[in-house]
Amino acid sequence: MKIAKYYSDNRKYLIWIFLIGVAVSLPANFYGLFKGYDFKIHLVWSRLFFEEFSNGTLYPRWLSDAYGGYGSPVFYFYPPLPYFITLLTYWLFSTFKIIWLPLTASFSLAHILSGFTSYIWLKKFFTPKISFFGAIVYMLFPYHLSTDFYNRAAFAESWSFVWLPLLMLHSYNILSKNKNAVLLFAVFYAALVLTHLPTALIFSPFPLLYYIFAIKKIQFQSLSRIVLGYVIGLGLAAFYLVPAISYQKFVQISSLMRFNYSNNFLLSNPYTVDGITSNWVYNNFIITLALIIIGVIYRYLKKESRNKLTSWFIIFALAFFMATPLSLPIWKLFSFIQIISFPWRFLVIVTLAFTFIFTYFISSERLRNHNFFIWALLIILFGSNIIFISFKVFKSKILIEKENPVTIYEKSKNSFSPPEYLPKDLYNDSLLKRVPVPLTEILSGNAKITQSKKISGNVAFTVNSITKSSIRINQFYFSGWSTESNEEKIKVSREGTLVRLSIPKGTYTVDITINKLKEHSIANYISLSFLVVSSLLFLSQNLITKTNPYNSGDN
C-alpha cells in the first residue's frame, strides 16, 4: 500500500527517470558492450550461471562448462547477487537470438534502479523536483555511465550503485532513530557485499564518517546502532563471504594483484592496455571539472549551508584523495586495501558525494545568481558522455560486424581467463591443451560409459567396466571430489589438476561431487540464524507494535 502511494505521489519523476535510463542504455542493448573490458567474461559467467540454475542448482557456485569444459569455482568467490537478478532478464529475453541482450538488459536495469534509489534517498532532504535532477546527476555522472557501464562493462560495480544511496539514506535514518533503520541498513549492506566486494570495502568507512561529521556530539547509542547494522549485514552475507575466504587456498587468487595498485592512481601515469589510456584522459578531464564545480558550490554557499554540507565535503575530499597518488603512504600502511587494485574505484564515492552536494546547491536560492556558469560546466560534464559512449558503441558495432557474437562467446568460454579462479597448482599442465573437452575419458581397461551428466560441481554417469578401469573426469579437482553413491569400491584421486576414478570390474552408477569444507556449512547456519533473528526483530518492531492495544493512543 505504501509503495503504491509513493508511486502515485512521485509518478511523473519516476517515469522520467525510467525513460532517461532506457535512453542512455539503449545503445548497449543494440550493439552490446564487446569493447568493454569485462563484458565477455560477464557474458560467459551470466549465461553459464543461468544454465546451471535452470538445471536445478539453486546457487551455482561451480560453472561446469567454464574454462573450456574443465569447470570453474568462480561463484565460490565472486558475489552472486547481480547474477541472481540477471536470471530475470534471461527468462525475459532468452527467446531472442541476440546473445548479449539478457546481460545488457541487466546493465540497463541496474542503471534505472540506481536512478530510483538515488531519488528515494534525495527526496528525504529535498523537494521531488530537486531530487529528480539530483537522481539524473547520479545516473549520468561520467564515472557511473561512461566508465563503469560503457568503457569497463563493470557489471558488479554498476549494480553496486543501486545500493549506495539506500545505505546513506538509512545511515541518516539511524541518526534519526527510525525503528527499522538498523535492519534496513543491514539488508542493503549485505546486498552490497553480495554485489561487489571492492566497493563494499571502499564504502564501509563512509557511513561512520558521515555520522561523525554530521553531528556535533557523538552518541554511543547511535554509533553502536550503525555498527550493529554492519554486523547483521555481514552475518546475512556469511553464506557467501566465509566460503569466498576459506576456499582461496585452492585457487590462484593472488593473480588479482597482477594489476598493481600503484600504477592505477587517478591523475598519474596512464595504464596502457587495450586503449585504456583514452579512459584515463577522460576521467582526469571529468574529475577536474567536478572539482571546479565543487569549488564554485563551496564559494557561493552561505556559511550555514556549508556547515550542513561539512560531512559531504569531507567525504568527497577523502574519496578523491584516496584515488590520487597523494594517498600512497596510506595504501602502503593499510596494505589490505591493495586488493582492490584500482585506486580510482574511489570515484564511486566521489559520484555519491558530488550528487548530494550538487543537489543541495541547486536547491539553494543562491543558484539564481550564478546558474549560467554552473549549468555551462554541467553541459560539458554530461555532454562528454555522448562523445565517449558513441566511440565505444561504434567500436563494438564494428567488432560484431566482423565476427559472429556467438563465436566470440564460445572463444571466451574456452579461454583460461581470468586466471585467479584456476587451480593453485595449475601452471603448464599438458592435459589442458584441448578445449572444449569431453566430460569423461577412459585411460585404461575396458569400459563403456553411458548417461553421463554434469551439474554445478556434480558429475554422474553409468559405467559398465568389463575389466578394472581408470577413468579421467575432465573437471578441475579444486577442493577434492568424493562419491555420493554407496559404491565404496570406486576410488577418487587426482591426475594432475583433474579428477581420476579407479573402477573395479562390474556395472556402477557413479555420482561424485565437490567436497564441501566445514566452514562452508557453518557459514550457511550463520546466515540462516541472522535471517531468522532479523525477521523476528522486524516483526516485533512492526506487526506486534501495531496490534498492541496499549499503543492505540486511546488512553
Question: Looking at residue 483, which CATH number applies to its domain?
Answer: 2.60.220.10
Residue 79 has pLDDT above 70, yes or no: yes
In 3D space, the residue among 199, 260, 188 whose CA is nearest the CA of residue 226 turns out to be: 188
**Residues 254, 194 share a domain:** yes
In 3D space, the residue among 474, 358, 409 whose CA is nearest the CA of residue 69 turns out to be: 474
Number of domains in the chain: 2
**Residues 507, 376 share a domain:** no
**Residues 331, 229 share a domain:** yes
d(CA 197, CA 167): 15
A 10 A CB-CB count for 106 gives: 24
**Residues 99, 45 share a domain:** yes
- Bridge partner residues of 498 (DSSP): 476, 495
**Residues 53, 175 share a domain:** yes
**Residues 491, 384 share a domain:** no
Alpha helices for 403-517 (secondary structure H): 405-413
Residue 361 has pLDDT above 90, yes or no: no
Q: For residues 43 and 103, is the Cβ–Cβ distance under 8 A? A: yes
Q: Give mean pLDDT, residues 242-253.
A: 94
- Domain of 122? 2-407
Is 551 part of a structural domain of the chain?
no
pLDDT, tens digit, for every residue of 457-491?
999 999 999 999 999 999 999 888 988 765 667 88
Q: Is 333 helix (H, G, I), strand (E, B) or coil?
A: helix
Question: What is the full DSSP assignment across 261-302?
Answer: GGG--TTSS---STTHHHHHHHHHHHHHHHHHHHHHHHHHS-
What percent of the chain is modeled with pLDDT above 70? 89
Q: Is 537 helix (H, G, I), strand (E, B) or coil?
A: helix
Q: Is 24 helix (H, G, I), strand (E, B) or coil?
A: helix
Residue 550 has pLDDT above 50, yes or no: no
**Residues 197, 84 share a domain:** yes
Predicted local distance difference test score (pLDDT) of residue 282: 63
Q: Which amino acid is at 113?
A: L
- State the chain's maximal CA–CA distance in angstroms: 91
**Residues 251, 211 share a domain:** yes
d(CA 37, CA 49): 20
Q: For residues 424 and 252, is the Cβ–Cβ distance under 8 A? A: yes
Q: pTM of the entire structure?
A: 0.92
Q: For residues 323 and 354, is the Cβ–Cβ distance under 8 A? A: no
Is 432 part of a structural domain of the chain?
no
pLDDT, averaged across the chain = 87
Residue 275 has pLDDT above 80, yes or no: no
Predicted local distance difference test score (pLDDT) of residue 276: 47
State residue 478 phi and psi, 5-degree precision: 50, -120
**Residues 448, 392 share a domain:** no
d(CA 238, CA 250): 19
Is 418 part of a structural domain of the chain?
no
Lowest mean pLDDT among 108-122, 141-155, 367-381, 439-453: 367-381
pLDDT band with cut points at 50, 70 and 90 for residue 554? very low
Residue 380 has pLDDT above 90, yes or no: no
State residue 242 phi and psi, 5-degree precision: -65, -50
Residue 519 has pLDDT above 70, yes or no: yes
Q: Which residues of 304-340 are buried (b: 16+ CB within 10 A; e: fewer)?
A: ebeeebebbbbbbebbbebbbeebeeebeeeeebeeb
**Residues 382, 294 share a domain:** yes
Per-residue DSSP letter, 7: H
Is 132 part of a structural domain of the chain?
yes
Q: Is 469 helix (H, G, I), strand (E, B) or coil?
A: strand
**Residues 128, 79 share a domain:** yes
**Residues 232, 92 share a domain:** yes
What 3 state SS string does 53-91 have? HHCCCCCCCCECCCHHHCCECHHHHCCCHHHHHHHHHHH
Is 256 part of a structural domain of the chain?
yes
Q: Which of 388, 407, 426 is the last residue of a domain?
A: 407
Residue 552 has pLDDT above 50, yes or no: no
Q: What would the grid cell of residue 241 be?
A: 563471504
Residue 61 has pLDDT above 80, yes or no: yes
Q: In angstroms, how far is CA 497 from the centroid of its own chain?
A: 30
Q: Give mean pLDDT, residues 349-361.
A: 92
Q: Give mean pLDDT, residues 300-306.
A: 78
Q: For residues 154 and 348, is the Cβ–Cβ distance under 8 A? A: no
Is 389 part of a structural domain of the chain?
yes
Residue 500 has pLDDT above 90, yes or no: yes
- Collect all residues with Cβ–Cβ distance below 8 Å to 178 and sequence separation of at least 6: 170
Predicted local distance difference test score (pLDDT) of residue 218: 66
The sign of the dihedral angle between the CA atoms of 283, 285, 288, 289 is: negative
Predicted local distance difference test score (pLDDT) of residue 269: 60
Is 53 part of a structural domain of the chain?
yes
The sign of the dihedral angle between the CA atoms of 382, 383, 386, 392 is: negative
Sheet strands side by side (includes 498-503) = 440-444, 469-476, 498-503, 491-495
Is 502 part of a structural domain of the chain?
yes
Q: Which of 479, 497, 514 is the last residue of a domain?
A: 514
d(CA 196, CA 180): 25
